[in-house]
Structure 1
Amino acid sequence: MLTLENDGQIISAYKFPSPNPAVELELVTYYASGLKVKGLLAKPVDGSGTEGFLYLRGGIKNVGKVRPARIAQFASEGFTVFAPFYRGNQGGEGDEDFGGDDRVDAFAGFELLQSLPWVTRIHVFGFSRGGLMALLTAIKFPETASVVTWGGVTDMFLTYAERKDLRRMMKRVIGGSPKKVPGRYKFRTPLYEMENLKAPVLLIHGRNDHNVSVEHSYRIEKRLKELGKPVESWYFDDYTHYFPPVMNRKIVDDLTNWMKSRQQQ
């Protein structure tokens, strides 16, 4: 896993059409492990985005792509948001490897937000497989203000066991099954590194989630509580991996308020 001094350095930024007139969007090319990676940067036009928000997407390749409307939605809550597309996507160099070396794209995204003079502190958010990226990023940067995972993956062994439909992709991208290369699955599993996490954590999960079972959140919550670390969980009995739009908007409000109310470390 290669981290370099110029990680997070912006190479270019171009104005991108915004779905919200109150939010400016830019398509950014930045360095991560020497690769030119793409991402979307959003900030409120009124200058209110003094807190940084690293948005870590789920999926792989074209599944779970960063959506401008979603990024603008979080920015409109008063954050400067950066959402890496991850390497190899939408014109970026390199290849995604599902939480392996591509975690550096998230780390470099954190450093990119740190380099913006108006950003005072940075929160990290991960959806689905972005959950493990978020937790790994918060471990890497102890100054992380807070971490929120929504339907987040925390245990790659569990993902392999649960998602028979993803096994072929996982074996190809990770280099084998958990039986064959257990070390590579452990490397991608933040559950084993929770003692190194400093930031407060919020877990959001639908109990009917069949993409990433709620067991992922249960496991990380149990481990954090054993370690005496600050963790909150919001579980929803009726929801799957995707929440209905009205509820989704409410939770965006609630989770961004939760972030802002975390004490300065």
Structure 2
Amino acid sequence: MRKLFPALLLALLLTACGAQQQPPAPAAPEPAQEAAAEEPKQEEPPKEEPKKEEPEKVKLDPDAILASLQAHESIVRADRIAEPQQYEGRMLVYSIRYAVDDCEVEGYVAVPAEVKPELAEGLPGLIYCRGGNRSFSPLEPLDLCRQAFGGYAVFGSQYRGNFGGTGKEDFGGDDVHDLTKLVDVALDMDFVTGEKVYLVGFSRGGMMAYRVCQDYGDKIQACAVNSGLADSYLMYETREQAMKDVYHQLVGGGPDELPEAFDRRSATHFADEINVPILIGQGTKDVRVVPQQAYDMADALKAAGKVEDVDYKLIIYEGAQHGLSGTTFMRDQLQWFSAHAE
């Protein structure tokens, strides 16, 4: 019995410890079609559209453009000049002197050197209304080249009495004729197409552009005003003495002495006479033309029955100063003109 006890004990230990439970047999695999159905379905990559080759641009003839300018009865002199360095080889630039009323006025013309084939027979015309007055903030060829880069034939004026021109600038009076004359000149050019031109006004040029829209609206396709003077009363009130002096020197006095002259130079007073689609761009940090000018002009257009985003549009650029640098105004302008193209 003693001999059997160790053997019996060993057998019990082997049963408890040595005979480990075997893992369960693996489950039978799911049918292949069910497993496949559970995997996320991968979408086929989109088929790449064949890239459209851009048609080769057509070079414009600089001599033909010069000949067209020189042949116009209102142009006293036209010369080709060097383009700004930033646009070297990409622009054709001309200096012109033209007759308006009893004056001769200096100006510039800028045209892209190469254009898409569909523009080879003629570009849309654009009149650029400079800001400033007299020799302050004069018109530069660079101003016109920036506009021409969008595919326009651009014309700009220094206004009468400036840079060798005759007559006297009067800050939104008869010098508006210097721009309406350019409208007619542009539409007569062989290299300009269409029966209307586009209009851009910067700062003081905004006042001029509004006046052109008032007097010559049937020849303006669409207008863009950036940081534009819309109310001479407000300008006189909000600016320093130097700006008040401009009114006294060029217009002849202040609003108390010359209310009719100030009305004439305030588009907020004749918004009902403007029938041109107008884009208004304004920076909130502008201290030269305060933002209230833009708000008041938009309100005046609305009060005159104009439809927002159709007849006019106001875009406020947060933090932007007078020049709207760093904003999307140029792109917004091109989109506005495209939306109101012939």
Corresponding residue for residue 146 of structure 1: 222
For residues 17 and 136 of structure 1, do their structure 2 counterparts lie closer, same or farther at Cα, with a shift above 3 Å needed?
same
| Residue of structure 2 aligned with 1:238, choices 302, 316, 319 | 319
Q: How far has the Cα of 1:223 moved from its partner?
A: 1.1
Corresponding residue for residue 119 of structure 1: 193
Q: How far has the Cα of 1:8 moved from its partner?
A: 8.2
Please tell me whether the aligned partners of residues 54 and 82 of structure 1 are also in contact (alpha carbons under 8 angstroms). Answer: yes
Please tell me whether the aligned partners of residues 8 and 108 of structure 1 are also in contact (alpha carbons under 8 angstroms). Answer: no
* Counterpart-to-counterpart distance in 1, 2:331 and 2:74: 31
* Counterpart-to-counterpart distance in 2, 1:88 and 1:119: 30
254-263 or 143-152, which moves further after superposition? 254-263
Identify the structure with bigger relative contact order (alpha carbons < 8 Å, sequence gap 6+): 1
Q: Is there any run of 5+ residues in structure 2 with no aligned partner, and where?
A: 1-71
Superposed structure 1 runs of 4+ greater than 2 Å apart? 46-49
* Counterpart-to-counterpart distance in 2, 1:197 and 1:251: 22
Q: Who wins on radius of gyration, i.e. which is larger?
A: 2
* Counterpart-to-counterpart distance in 2, 1:212 and 1:8: 37
Query: Within the alignment, does 1:164 sit opposite 2:240 as a pair?
Result: yes
Question: Identity, % of aligned pairs?
Answer: 25
* Counterpart-to-counterpart distance in 2, 1:177 and 1:254: 35
52-61 or 187-196, which moves further after superposition? 187-196
* Counterpart-to-counterpart distance in 1, 2:304 and 2:128: 26
Q: How far has the Cα of 1:263 moved from its partner?
A: 4.2
* Counterpart-to-counterpart distance in 1, 2:79 and 2:316: 39
Please tell me whether the aligned partners of residues 282 and 324 of structure 2 are also in contact (alpha carbons under 8 angstroms). Answer: no
* Counterpart-to-counterpart distance in 2, 1:172 and 1:28: 27
How many residues end up aligned between the 2 structures?
255
- Counterpart amino acid of residue 85 in structure 1: Q
SS in 1 for 2:179: helix
SS in 1 for 2:169: coil
42-51 or 81-90, which moves further after superposition? 42-51
- Counterpart amino acid of residue 300 in structure 2: R
Q: How far has the Cα of 1:226 moved from its partner?
A: 1.6
- 1:19-98 counterparts in 2 under 5 A? 19=84, 20=87, 21-47=89-115, 48=119, 50-98=123-171
- Counterpart amino acid of residue 69 in structure 1: L
Q: How far has the Cα of 1:251 moved from its partner?
A: 2.4
Please tell me whether the aligned partners of residues 78 and 95 of structure 2 are also in contact (alpha carbons under 8 angstroms). Answer: yes
SS in 1 for 2:174: coil
**CA deviation digits over 1:107-137, x for unaligned, max 9?**
1111111211333131111000100100110
Query: Within the alignment, does 1:134 sit opposite 2:192 as a pair?
Result: no
**CA deviation digits over 1:19-53, x for unaligned, max 9?**
22211000011111121101000111225461111
* Counterpart-to-counterpart distance in 1, 2:126 and 2:341: 16
**CA deviation digits over 1:29-84, x for unaligned, max 9?**
11111211010001112254611110001111121111212211111110000010
* Counterpart-to-counterpart distance in 2, 1:43 and 1:8: 21
Q: How far has the Cα of 1:257 moved from its partner?
A: 2.9
Q: Is there any run of 5+ residues in structure 1 with no aligned partner, and where?
A: 1-6
| Residue of structure 1 aligned with 2:305, choices 228, 245, 250 | 228
Corresponding residue for residue 62 of structure 2: none
Corresponding residue for residue 268 of structure 2: 191
Please tell me whether the aligned partners of residues 113 and 119 of structure 1 are also in contact (alpha carbons under 8 angstroms). Answer: no
* Counterpart-to-counterpart distance in 2, 1:76 and 1:128: 21
Q: TM-score w.r.t. structure 1 length? A: 0.91
46-55 or 12-21, which moves further after superposition? 46-55
For residues 214 and 53 of structure 1, do their structure 2 counterparts lie closer, same or farther at Cα, with a shift above 3 Å needed?
same
Q: TM-score w.r.t. structure 2 length? A: 0.71
- Counterpart amino acid of residue 192 in structure 1: H
- 1:205-224 counterparts in 2 under 5 A? 205-224=282-301
* Counterpart-to-counterpart distance in 2, 1:68 and 1:257: 23
Please tell me whether the aligned partners of residues 150 and 334 of structure 2 are also in contact (alpha carbons under 8 angstroms). Answer: yes
* Counterpart-to-counterpart distance in 2, 1:253 and 1:239: 15
Please tell me whether the aligned partners of residues 8 and 110 of structure 1 are also in contact (alpha carbons under 8 angstroms). Answer: no
